[in-house]
Amino acid sequence: MIFLIPVAVLMGAVGLAAFFWSLRSGQYEDLEGAAHRILIDDEEDRT
Partner 1 sequence: MAVIALKEDAGCPSGLAPAEREESRADPSAFVRQGADGRDVLELMVQGAKCAGCIRKIEGGLLALPGVTDARLNLSTGRLSVSWAHGAVAAREITDALGRLGYASAAFDPEAARQSADEEGRRLLRYMAVAGFAAMNIMMFSVPVWSGGGEMGEGTRTLLHWVSAFIAIPASLYAAQPFFRSAWKALSARHANMDVPISLAVFLTLGISVAETIQQGEHAYFDGITMLLFFLLVGRYLDHRLRERARTAARDLLALQSVSASRIEPDGTIRAIPARDIGVGDRLSLAAGDRAPVDCVVEEGVSELDRSMLTGETMPQPAGVGAVVHAGVVNLTQRLVVKATARVQDSAMAQLARLIEIGEQGRARFVRLADKAAALYVPVVHSLAALTFLGWLFGPSLLRLAGFEVADVGVRIALMNAIAVLIITCPCALGLAVPAVQVVATGRLFKRGVLVKSGDALERLAETDVVVFDKTGTLTLGKPTLISRVETETLQAAASLARTSRHPLSRALTEAAGPGVPQASARELPGEGIEADVNGEKWRLGRRSFAAPTAPDANDGAVELWFSRGSGVAARFVFMDALRSDASETVRALKQRGIAVELLSGDRPTAVAAAALAAGIEAWKGGVSPADKTARLAALKASGRRSLMVGDGLNDAAALAAAHASASPGTALEASQAASDLVIQGAGLLALVEAIDVAKAAKARALENLRFSALYNLIAAPTAAAGLLTPLIAALAMSGSSLIVTLNALRLQLRGGPWTS
Nearest distance, CB of residue 3 and partner 1, angstroms: 13
Binding to partner 1, residues 10-39 (CB under 8 A): 12-13, 15-16, 19-20, 23, 28-33, 36-39
Nearer residue to partner 1 within complex by CB, 32 or 45: 32
Give the burial string for 22-46 (b: 16+ CB within 10 Å, else e). eeeeeeeeeeeeeeeeeeeeeeeee
Question: What element of type H or E holds 35?
Answer: helix 31-37
Interface ranges with partner 1 (CB under 8 A): 1, 5, 8-9, 12-13, 15-16, 19-20, 23, 28-33, 36-40, 43, 47
